[in-house]
Copies of this chain bind each other. A is one copy, B any other.
Amino acid sequence: MVSKFVFGNPIRTKAVIEEIAPADFSIMNPLLKFSEDKSSFTIDLLPDDSIYGLGESLHGMNKRGFIYVSNNTDQVHHDENQYSLYGSHNFVLLNRFKGLKLGLFVDYPAKTTFDIGFTDKDVMKVSVEEPDYTLYVVEGDSALSIITEFRKIIGKSYKAPLWGFGYGQSRWGYKCTEDILKVVEEHKRLNLPLDSVYMDIDYMQDYAVFTINPERYHYFEDFVKKMKEEHIHLVPAIDPAVKRLKGYFVYDEGVENNYFCKDEEGNDFPVAVWPGLAHLPDFFKPEVKKWFGQKYKLFTDVGIDGFWNDMNEPAIFYSSKSIKAAADKLATLKDKTETLNLSELWDYLDTASGLANNAEDYKSFYHEIDGKKVRHDRVHNLYAFNMVEGISKEFKEIAPDKEILFFSRSSYVGQHRYSGIWTGDNSSYYSHIKLILSQLPGLNMNGFLYVGADTGGFAFNVSEPLLMRFMQISMFTPLFRNHCALGCRDQEIYNFKDIDSFRNMLNLRYALIPELYRIYNDCIENSKLMFTPLALAYPDDRACLDVDDQLMLGDDYMIVPVYEANATGRYVYLPEDMTAYVLKSDKDYKTVNMEKGYHHIDIALNELVIFVKKGKELKLSKPANNTALL
């Protein structure tokens, strides 16, 4: 049962699409204790209470023990001290062992804080900036039925085309079509499956959105066609900010039609992103959504059928306002170099390092929502939502017969109806293998089914074994994209030594795709989790509460990725008798029947293990080098 409680005057978010009549506060579950102004509530936690949800957030599957702040942030450091990542996914589930289960969705588009047993180990505290929000309380018999009920009120998830499950190669730094061609040819030469190559910001002319560099990406239409003949999809990145340049068509149209976010005085607010100074489209205005979405026709008309929206938190390197203030301040350092004290030094350093994604900038520009001026920070977490929603709608018009692959970096609940997401700029860290494992169930709970992390890690250099272990988790996620940052070690498979093992893993992926796609579709249609924590799948088994590094996949499988350097095996807990498939490839594998309980299992670097419930079997199809050939 879903109860909807409205506090103050919330800004409408469109996260929930089912019409639900507001309930009277008197029927609020007494477990929730509210502050007087209703801007926060607490729940007392029992020792065995675990909390799930919060989608793209840090730490383990069980969110207890940390603080999380929903505040969409371009955050390249996914370290234990960070509170915010790219998305805001405010559904949490209280899982009381052999007791109450409770779903809570805090529908609020500004900063929302979940202190889950951090400040006080026995208390969860949820707070918003201003008491204008809608709280959905979902009650039910089981955690999974509560999740399904919540998923139903937020609507069906976006469905990606089958080729979106193929292997994709990406990097920031493919300077020209020749670089892309090399990727395709090397995969072909080494008989490595491939479905897509991603084009990062490099393809644009001076990073101006909806342009293509005519010298480095020449004969683009022909190139797209040529790639299509080889069943390779090119997937360009699209950023929201529009370069400030007179004569550039997108800029001119935006200025002329008042499409950009304004400062307090009503002038277009200049922010710097990749193209230098730029303006942010005000995606809260219907006409802006339409205008920006229609621009994708420039790509769909030449055969492009996949896009990723990057930088749409929106990320801001600096604003004209903030850099002027910083420059003025930094200029004063000259007179102080001999007398500087430490607080002044930190202040100077903070001035520089604080330019990007500065809270003050987010308070300095405005949207027009239903004719009213609304300061950005009040609706910050909805920026990407509105961008994606708008584009998705236009896809139906500009490419009515096409299934478009579409995913975003930033997100809010509800956006799952229009796109997938990837988990942003992770790093080439072993701990980030575990991180994606931890994020998957929370993302699914919040509606996001087409998800994946940068395989191999975005930032920093990868090693060959790390890339291999990363592949063995990406193996199971709908999006499977090897992506890394400019300046990092070449991360394409063909730069490493044991190509046979990489090929075996990719073949396994392609042999799994039909089954993964079936599960994915089932989860869309029936509002289910593709990835389920064992604690929710086996609610009466106390041992499952501690299992934070295994996941149920669909109804029949359990995955147990290896995420430690040099490990040649790992521990697993079996909540029931299962069969271990120990796979070197789709052809070379053995099965071992294992009993419910704790085990240690060997998993060599070139092996993947999938557990299958008794009486079920692992459905492997014949692999191919491309989903079109499956």
Contact = CB atoms under 8 A, between A and B. Distances in A.
A355 interface: yes
Interface string A67-91: 0000000000001110000000000
Contacts of A65: 463, 465-466, 565-566
Interface of A: 50, 59-60, 62, 64-66, 79-81, 117-122, 272, 274, 276-277, 317-318, 320, 323-324, 326-328, 330-331, 333-334, 336-342, 345, 348-349, 351-353, 355, 427-431, 459-461, 463-466, 497, 543, 545-546, 548, 564-569, 571, 573, 598-600
A274 B342 contact: yes
A334 B327 contact: yes
Contacts of A463: 65-66, 117-119, 121
A274 to B, nearest CB: 7
A334 B337 contact: no
A303 B81 CA distance: 40
Contact of A333 (B118, B121, B330): B330
A274 B328 CA distance: 26
Contact of A571 (B272, B459, B600): B600
B327 A62 contact: no
Most chain B C-beta atoms within 10 Å of own C-beta, residue among A330, A567, A573: A330
Nearest to A81: B460
B345 A318 contact: yes
Contacts of A120: 497
A546 B565 contact: no
A340 B352 contact: no
Contacts of A119: 463
A327 B339 CA distance: 13
18 contacts: A60-B564, A60-B566, A62-B565, A64-B565, A64-B566, A65-B466, A80-B428, A118-B463, A120-B497, A272-B340, A272-B345, A276-B341, A276-B342, A320-B338, A324-B337, A330-B333, A598-B599, A598-B600
A320 B337 CA distance: 7
B333 A327 contact: yes
B548 A573 contact: no
A20 to B, nearest CB: 33
Most chain B C-beta atoms within 10 Å of own C-beta, residue among A50, A566, A573: A566
By Cβ-Cβ distance, the 7 closest A-B pairs, closest first, are A352-B352, A598-B600, A330-B330, A80-B429, A571-B571, A327-B333, A81-B460
A255 to B, nearest CB: 17
A430 B333 contact: no
A565 B352 contact: no
A349 B341 contact: no
A328 B333 CA distance: 8
Given A65-B465, A323-B337, 7 more contacts: A60-B565, A119-B463, A120-B497, A122-B497, A272-B345, A317-B345, A352-B353
A349 B355 contact: yes
Nearest to A339: B276
Contacts of A349: 352-353, 355
Contacts of A428: 80-81
Nearest to A432: B80
A121 B429 CA distance: 16
B566 A50 contact: yes
A320 B573 CA distance: 59
Contacts of A117: 463
A81 B459 contact: yes
Nearest to A48: B568
A316 to B, nearest CB: 12
A62 B566 contact: yes
A67 to B, nearest CB: 8
A603 B437 CA distance: 24
A39 B549 CA distance: 43
B323 A340 contact: yes
A460 B79 CA distance: 11
Contact of A348 (B50, B79, B352): B352
Contacts of A567: 546, 548
A580 to B, nearest CB: 15
Contacts of A546: 566-569
A272 B345 CA distance: 10
B333 A326 contact: yes
A355 B120 CA distance: 38
A79 B79 CA distance: 8
Nearest to A337: B323
Contacts of A59: 565
A277 B566 contact: no
